[in-house]
Structure formats: C-alpha cells, structure tokens
Amino acid sequence: MEEIIEITKQDMQNAIESMQKRFANIRAGRANVSILDNIVVNYYGSDTPLRQIANVYVPEARQIAIKPYDKSALAGIEKAIYESNLGLTPNNNGELIILAFPPLTEERRKEFVKDVKGIAEETRVSLRNIRQDSNNAIRDLKLPEDEEKRGVERIQLVVNDYNKKIDDLLKEKEVELMTI
C-alpha cells in the first residue's frame, strides 16, 4: 500500500508541475523568459530549442532581448516567434530581437484569470482521476476492509494536500495577473 501512496504523490506532483508550466506561459504584462521555453527554431535544417542558439535576457521589465550566438539565426528565430502564437511581435534590429510586452488592459487581465482558473480546474480533474486509480489499486490488493478503508483515507489526505497547493498557486497567479 505504501508504494501505491508514493506513486500517487509522484503523479500528483507531476500534475502540479505541469500546471505551473502552463501558468508560466500566461503572461502578466511583465517580461518572463520562461514563455520562450517551448520555442523551437529551424537552425541549419534541424529543430533546435531557442535557448540553445541564443542568449535570452530581460533588459527591462517589459522587454525580452534575444541575442543569437550566430547572427544568421536571427531570421529563423523571428519566424519561430511569429509562428508560436505568443501574441508578441519580434523587433529585429540586425543584432538582436526585442520582444516588447504591452501593458495589459483590465479586460485582458480578467480573461487571463479565467484561463488560469480553467487550468487549475483541469489539474483538479487530473487529481481526481489519479485518486480513482489509486483507490482501485488499493481495492485490488484484497486487503481486510479496515486496512482498505485506511488506505483510501490516506489517499484522500494526499489529494487534499495537493488541492491546497493548487489553490495557493492559483491565488498567487491571480494576484500576479491583476497587479498593474
């Protein structure tokens, strides 16, 4: 039973980490280089992560600068950013690419909050599915009734802990999004 509980915790932690990655891709009007983590550039015929072919940094609060190690990669980087649907327009000055983050309107902030709540709810559904699988695994062990009940209760305590983590991360992201 201990093994099932440990697997449950690991699966739930993976669900939380996935949610955090998705949260990072929702911008709050401030520059954050993590939104470029999934950008892949066609570099000399092979798909290469942006961070491997360029230095990415934040020169000021609402800008990201991308300086490729090889200037011939500028056009490919620019194209990859356009195709990524980030909602940002790259500004190529021949040396580096600047991504400017416009301030968000109140309406857009509220849309982002809705998106974040949706992601949190999807993660809660994942936790419920993991709980169901774990409870079934405990039942499949054919333990005495009281041990089975204790196992199911322990799984529920784990679910409660991870639901609290979701709530805390959601509140944190909402505050970040609504802060101007």
Taking the domains of the chain in order of start, what are their residue ranges? 2-25+105-178, 33-100
What class, spelled out in words, does domain 2-25+105-178 have in CATH? mainly alpha
- 108: Cβ–Cβ under 8 A, 6 or more apart, which residues? none
Q: In the prediction, which pLDDT does 21 show? A: 87
Average pLDDT score over residue span 51-64:
91
CATH of 33-100, one of 3.90.1150.10, 3.30.1360.40, 3.40.50.1000, 3.40.30.10: 3.30.1360.40
Q: Which tens digit of pLDDT belongs to each residue from 80-122? A: 998 888 778 899 999 999 998 888 788 888 999 999 999 999 9
Please spell the DSSP secondary structure of 112-148, one letter per residue.
Answer: HHHHHHHHHHHHHHHHHHHHHHHHHHHHHTT--HHHH
| Model confidence band, residue 62 (pLDDT cutoffs 50, 70, 90) | confident
pTM of the full structure:
0.72
Residue 154 pLDDT > 90: yes
